Amino acid sequence: MNYKDLFAEIAVQAAQIENLGEVAAYIPELQRVDPLKFGIHLTTLENENFGVGDYQEKFSIQSIAKVLSLTLAFDLEDDKLWRRVDVEPSGTPFNSLVQLEYEKGIPRNPLINAGALVICDILVSRLKNPKREFIEFVRKIAGNQAINYCQRTADSEKSTGYKNAALINLMKSYGNIHNDIDVVLDFYFHLCSIEMSCQELSQHFLFLAAGGINPLNNEKVISASKSKRINAIMQLCGFYDEAGEFSFRVGLPGKSGVGGGIVAIHPGQYSVAVWSPKLNQKGNSYKGMKILEFFTTRSESSIF
Amino acid sequence: MNYKDLFAEIAVQAAQIENLGEVAAYIPELQRVDPLKFGIHLTTLENENFGVGDYQEKFSIQSIAKVLSLTLAFDLEDDKLWRRVDVEPSGTPFNSLVQLEYEKGIPRNPLINAGALVICDILVSRLKNPKREFIEFVRKIAGNQAINYCQRTADSEKSTGYKNAALINLMKSYGNIHNDIDVVLDFYFHLCSIEMSCQELSQHFLFLAAGGINPLNNEKVISASKSKRINAIMQLCGFYDEAGEFSFRVGLPGKSGVGGGIVAIHPGQYSVAVWSPKLNQKGNSYKGMKILEFFTTRSESSIF
Amino acid sequence: MNYKDLFAEIAVQAAQIENLGEVAAYIPELQRVDPLKFGIHLTTLENENFGVGDYQEKFSIQSIAKVLSLTLAFDLEDDKLWRRVDVEPSGTPFNSLVQLEYEKGIPRNPLINAGALVICDILVSRLKNPKREFIEFVRKIAGNQAINYCQRTADSEKSTGYKNAALINLMKSYGNIHNDIDVVLDFYFHLCSIEMSCQELSQHFLFLAAGGINPLNNEKVISASKSKRINAIMQLCGFYDEAGEFSFRVGLPGKSGVGGGIVAIHPGQYSVAVWSPKLNQKGNSYKGMKILEFFTTRSESSIF
Amino acid sequence: MNYKDLFAEIAVQAAQIENLGEVAAYIPELQRVDPLKFGIHLTTLENENFGVGDYQEKFSIQSIAKVLSLTLAFDLEDDKLWRRVDVEPSGTPFNSLVQLEYEKGIPRNPLINAGALVICDILVSRLKNPKREFIEFVRKIAGNQAINYCQRTADSEKSTGYKNAALINLMKSYGNIHNDIDVVLDFYFHLCSIEMSCQELSQHFLFLAAGGINPLNNEKVISASKSKRINAIMQLCGFYDEAGEFSFRVGLPGKSGVGGGIVAIHPGQYSVAVWSPKLNQKGNSYKGMKILEFFTTRSESSIF
């Protein structure tokens, strides 16, 4: 595949796609972003790198961070993890309490908010200084000490995070949260506030395309088997109630965030990250999905 | 009706009914009550009084207090109240979040937990010192300065009240809670901790049998029209998911609490309160419902 | 109460209330009715009769007939009936399948469609010629041989009754329908097609105001105890998802139909029927509810 | 990969896995199958073939046929198809009516019963003689004239198919079924009754591993793009409420049936079919899933 030519096409394409959708409204800090921003960056297993647009600009990765917390928790807990969170698609909007109540406080999967909160609770139990140890884990994979939380975004989300507070209280009532609610929520809001650029994201997620090994420094992040399973979870659960649509159109495992970022993996080949702040009605980047569909269609690189 | 003879029969009957069910488990403090306690007390509009058993012993009235907070809020807000809470039966277990999410944070009625929390929020907005003013309102109706909150019960419920915290956070996310969550929950837990005896309860609720006027001192608590409407709400919503069963068997408007108390009203005739701590599977006093069914069957005093 | 003067006021009032809402759309035959029709008729236990407007004109009583089939089935089955249908309010729109699935094919109450279908199934099991025997039961209570099914309405409903077919098939899958589905549906659609005037309805339902005895001929329709229980069920379940609103505003047990009819009972006093074809969003007669609210407010005759 | 050695290991493994679960109970005809049957067959794109056990014995493919009807309907309708059925995972047990009602008669995806019924309705509209034309379409892909419906199984399912009748009536009430219900159900029950062996299944489904071309005769069944999209739908929706579990453990797109069959695809490599009649609690072959997990783990051939 000649990615260089394809990225030239993408630059043209990105300018032509109408910039529909709305910037996430429920976190005040996210409202401040320029809605016209657009970037995409690809990193291959051979460490070839291709970028277009604002691919070096940091943005709030939001729910994309849930893949990183899952990675750390899965590594620490092994299959014990699945006693407290399932691996099934949610089939309902991402914040829904209905299914959680029906299933007695066991979230459907670790990538919806409820599941990510359980993962945070596990990390709070496991780590001495959760916030510091987690960001160091992220920095180490990325080989990049500049990655950090954004305190303003974390504060902004905390001030309006009533649905997450409802979720975690409901799970606590079922005994599936072991630590103090405020501590877990604080960790969760920090985690979602991490800022990375498309370039950093595509390089960071490369280990999931490489069987758990970071090909940039040859360090093992997680076992090959766990790496595959994280990809399987992303494929089925990475896009709220639009996982089917993303699989259908793009055909790669991936994860989106309400900051407008999407990262996707082609096992054995590459990791790609895209950013465009306006979201469609299901809460995923409108232009980001369009561009990734264009990219896998032209490169014929759906996993299916 | 010769209530004296009937109460003699009730004493016999109460001893014969098997004391099935379980004392409420989710509030530690309620677990300490003697499960064999039983009392019933009737007050007629003519201020005749009849009691059997432990009718002078105070117990935690719990959700019965929701009728009192509704009374005060309805008096203060008039029909504006119904913008924030509906008057329909809930048709699902009393703590359910499902319907609340489906209906965008507007609770089905003021007697389920969610609705009572909204009523508390309204009173917190309206009153300068909510806890003090509310207990004074209760004492004034009852003509009884000895009625009070139980701090230990309020603390006990606060320490385990995660479902209520989930409910109020969910409603806050929909904009239907205006005050600080902790303040509203604290008020709510105090309200539920009020302790009264069957005698105090039946005398206190007499105003709802008397068109809003307290017949013991001739003071108006609420308008006749509002009094009728509160009775209508109790009839349809006073027994969690067993309102139909209570209407079917007992045939009076009433309200139960997980402390094992039930109060019921016959408009134009009397108010009756019963207490037996063991609850059936739907969360209502097992023996209390049996005795009230016996009472209305023998006295032929269903409103239907 | 001077009902004569009050009915004169009602005539004025009825002309002033805006005729909002929509005639039921889902049964083609019901669409043919004149939306301006209005009638009300009251029958007291002393057989005083008061009518205004089109109170002698027959209309399709629709779901009001469910009270009559319940009466017959309750009389035949006694408390065995409640093994197959509950007595709780539904708390969701009247055709909803959700709760039925959640509760394994046991309908919430006999006045929602699912429950009425179970009642029909029971009558099909119990009666040799269900359609003939049922209409004779109705005629006998009313003392009126002219009451009949409307074949065109029954056919019309059958041709579009897919939701009812869904409900009955779902219940059959849970084993709660014992007879052939087509036979039960045919009986159900006939039952709903019965035509009566407000005058006939108020006279017919008088037995529920009179403890189960038809005061016009002193014949017992059902026991006093069952009569009270049917009233209790109407109070909690007679108005789809607006039972609370009707209780709150009108304060009487009653039942509505999508033909625009409503019948209501004041135990010990009277039966009243009203008809206005335009329905509010919850499926109950818009003007009918307004007029009944006016009637009970002016006559101060809420049961609460 | 040396599949020959691996299949020898599978034979050993299959004998060691406990044969847990239950044969499908709700279709009487399926109850007659020998629960000890076990077969697996692999066909590679190079037309290498490997089989173990009862891989040449025909069984009822049941829901696996939904992939074939989807293939034909997608080919005929192109993207118009998605106006009537979505591509999202269902997240609830496979027969649930809840979500269907919530989403106004639009099924979540074409592989749950509701969606497959809509696909059948589309084929009934499109084909002159649906049953004959459909089986010919299947035979042509397979290059096998011996494939046929099983009339007894179709009759057996029809006699107990009340949940499917509920589903189709509900969708008809929303306007998403255009043909006569009995005709569509008859077609659906025939479709599910098709009988094939593991060998026939793995050869038949090879076109989905080969970009829509049947590699055995080089004929195009469907476009490459549509082939990928069908695989994406299988990945997310092929295993009722266990799609995540299958993805997580096996890591291939596939489809199961209550007859105990599972077919799975590795795009670009092979198609594999397994059969063991006992089902786990989610309705998928217990041993079939275990063996496929063993197979992809040993061959390291998850797509992730």
Pairwise CA distance, residues A147 & A161, whole Å: 24
Q: How far apart are CA B236 and CA B242, in angstroms?
A: 9
Residues of chain D in contact with residue C172, where contact means CB-CB under 8 angstroms, are 162
Nearest to C304 among B87, B244, B267 (CB): B267
Identify which of C12, C4, C8 has the alpha carbon closest to the alpha carbon of residue C48. C4
> Which residue in the set C92, C228, C303 is minimally distant from B91, CB to CB?
C92
Q: Where are the beta strands (DSSP E) in A35-169?
A: 39-44, 49-53, 59-60
**Predicted confidence band at B93 (pLDDT cuts at 50, 70, 90)?**
low
Contact between residue A191 and residue A133 where contact means Cβ atoms under 8 Å apart: no
Q: Which two tokens stand for residue B133?
A: 């003013």
Answer yes or no: is pLDDT of A94 > 50: no
Q: Which residues of C touch B86 (CB under 8 A)?
A: 244
For residue B98, the chain A residue with the least C-alpha distance is A98
**Would you state the pLDDT for residue C94?**
42
pLDDT of residue A235: 95
Report the residue of chain D nearest A103, measured CA to CA: D92
CB-based contact (8 Å) between D99 and chain C? no
Tell me how far apart the alpha carbons of residues A291 and C214 are, in angstroms, rounded to a whole number.
Answer: 75
Residues from chain D that touch A240, judged by Cβ atoms under 8 A, are: none
> Residue C167 and residue D166: Cβ atoms within 8 Å?
yes
D298 contacts chain A (CB < 8 A): no
Rounded CA separation D116/C179 (Å):
28
The minimum CA-CA distance between A173 and chain D, rounded to whole Å, is 23
Closest CB to D247: pick one of A90, A232, A241: A232
Q: Which residue of D82, D88, D303 is the best one to mutate when testing the A interface, meaning the one whose CB has the most A CBs within 10 A?
A: D88
* Separation in Å, CA of D117 to nearest CA in chain C: 14
Please answer whether residues C139 and C197 qualify as being in contact, where contact means their C-beta atoms are separated by less than 8 angstroms.
no
**Listed range (A140-144, B124-128, C196-200) with the worst mean pLDDT:** A140-144
- Mean pLDDT for chain C? 93
Q: Grade residue A93 by pLDDT with cuts at 50, 70 and 90.
A: low
Of the listed ranges B154-163, C218-227, D65-74, the least confidently predicted one is: B154-163
- Residue among A101, A113, A121 with most chain B CBs within 10 A, to mutate: A101
The pLDDT of residue A90 = 82
* Strand-strand pairing, A270-275 and A261-266: antiparallel
Per the structure block, which two tokens stand in for D118? 């809509």
Question: Is the per-residue pLDDT at C298 higher than 50?
Answer: yes
The band of B216, judged by pLDDT with boundaries at 50, 70 and 90, is confident
Contact C243 B236 (CB under 8 A): yes
Average of per-residue pLDDT across B153-181:
93
| Calpha distance D113→B153 (Å, rounded) | 51
What residue in A sits closest to B173 (Cα-Cα)? A162
Q: What pLDDT does D94 receive?
A: 42
Residue ranges with strand state E in chain B = 22-23, 39-44, 49-53, 59-60, 195-196, 213-214, 219-220, 254-256, 261-266, 270-275, 278-279
Reply yes or no on whether the pLDDT at A95 is more than 90: no
Q: How do residues C258-291 score in pLDDT, each as one tens digit?
A: 999 999 999 999 999 999 999 999 999 999 999 9
Closest chain C residue to D163 measured between Cα atoms?
Answer: C170
SS3 per residue for C250-287: CCCCEEECCCCEEEEEECCCEEEEEECCEECCCCCEHH
D 216-245: CB under 8 A from A? 225, 227-229, 231-233, 235-237, 241-245
Which of C169, C177, C181 has the highest number of chain D CBs within 10 A, making it the mutation to test binding with D?
A: C169
Please identify which residue in the block is written with the tokens 């089955």.
Answer: C77
- For residue C165, the chain D residues in CB contact (below 8 A) are 165-166, 169, 172, 181
C59-101 pLDDT, tens digit each: 999 999 999 999 999 999 999 999 999 999 886 654 567 778 7
What digits encode the pLDDT tens for the residues A187-244? 999 999 999 999 999 999 999 999 999 988 899 999 999 999 999 999 999 998 899 9
Burial B52-86 (b: 16+ CB within 10 A, else e): bbbbebbbbbbbbbbbbbbbbbbbebeeebbebbb
Amino acid D96: pLDDT: 67
The answer to whether the CB atoms of A228 and D242 lie below 8 A apart is no
Q: Is C99 on the interface with D (CB under 8 A)?
A: no
Our CA-based measurement puts residue C234 at a distance from the nearest CA of chain B, in whole angstroms, of: 10
Contacting C residues, span 141-170, partner chain D, CB-CB under 8 Å: 162-163, 165-167, 169-170
Task: List CB contacts (< 8 A) between A87 and chain D.
Answer: 244-245, 247-248
User: What does the alpha-carbon distance between residue B188 and residue B139 come to, in Å, rounded to a whole number?
Assistant: 17
* Distance, CA of A122 to CA of A140 (rounded, Å): 21
From the candidates B95, B169, B179, which should be mutated to test the interface with A, based on the most A CB atoms within 10 A? B169
Residues 172-211 of B with CB under 8 A from C: none
Cβ separation B232–C244 shorter than 8 A: yes
B187-191, B256-260, C215-219, D278-282: lowest mean pLDDT where? Answer: C215-219
Residues C132-161 have pLDDT tens digits of 999 999 999 988 999 999 999 999 988 889
| Nearest chain C residue to D177, by CA | C162
**C-D Cβ pairs (cutoff 8 Å, strict):** 48
Chain A CB contacts of B92 below 8 Å:
none
Q: How many residue pairs bridge chain B and chain C with CB atoms within 8 Å of each other? A: 103
C301 touches chain B (CB under 8 A): no
Whole-angstrom Cα distance, residue D23 to residue D38? 13
Query: A93 in contact with D at a CB cutoff of 8 Å?
Result: no
In sign, the C-alpha dihedral spanning C71, C76, C79, C83 is: negative
pLDDT digits (tens, 9 = 90+) for B282-303: 999 999 999 999 999 999 889 9
- Residues B25-38: what's their mean pLDDT? 89
Instruction: Tell me if A166 and B163 make a contact (CB, 8 A cut-off).
Output: no
Choose the closest CB to B98 out of A101, A165, A166: A101
Taking only the tens of pLDDT, chain D with its 304 residues reads: 689 999 999 999 999 999 999 998 878 888 899 999 999 999 999 999 999 999 999 999 999 999 999 999 999 999 999 999 999 988 665 456 777 877 889 999 999 999 999 999 999 999 999 999 999 999 999 889 999 999 999 999 888 899 999 999 999 999 999 999 999 999 999 999 999 999 999 999 999 999 999 988 899 999 999 999 999 999 999 998 899 999 999 999 999 999 999 999 999 999 999 999 999 999 999 999 999 999 999 998 899 9
The string over B277-287, giving b where at least 16 C-beta atoms fall within 10 Å of a residue's C-beta and e elsewhere, is bbbbebbbbbb
Report the chain C residue with the minimal C-alpha distance to residue B88: C244
* Å between D115 CA and nearest CA of chain A: 14
Check if D76 contacts C (Cβ < 8 Å).
no
pLDDT at B133 over 90: yes
Out of B91, B235, B267, closest to residue C91 by CB: B91
Interface mutation target, options C98, C173, C178, chain D, most CBs of D under 10 Å:
C173
**Partner C contacted by B280 (CB < 8 A):** no
Task: Test A304 with D88 for CB contact under 8 angstroms.
Answer: no
Subunits with 3+ Cβ pairs within 8 Å of C are B, D
Closest CA to C108 of C94, C128, C126, C122: C94
User: What pLDDT score was predicted for residue C96?
Assistant: 67
CA distance A175 to chain B (A): 10
Give the pLDDT confidence score for residue C101 in this predicted structure. 78
Q: Which chains have at least 3 CB atom pairs separated by less than 8 Å from chain D? A: A, C
Question: How high is the mean pLDDT of chain B?
Answer: 93
pLDDT band, very low/low/confident/very high, at B30 (cuts 50, 70, 90): confident
* pLDDT score, position B94: 42
Least confident of A93-102, B26-35, B224-233: A93-102
B67-86 tens-digit pLDDT: 999 999 999 999 999 999 99
Contact flag C304-B229 (C-beta cutoff 8 Å): yes
Give the ipTM: 0.92
The answer to whether the CB of D110 falls within 8 A of the CB of D233 is yes
Judged by a CB distance cut-off of 8 A, whether residue B103 touches chain C is: no
- Residues of chain C with C-beta less than 8 angstroms from the C-beta of D98: 97-98, 101-102
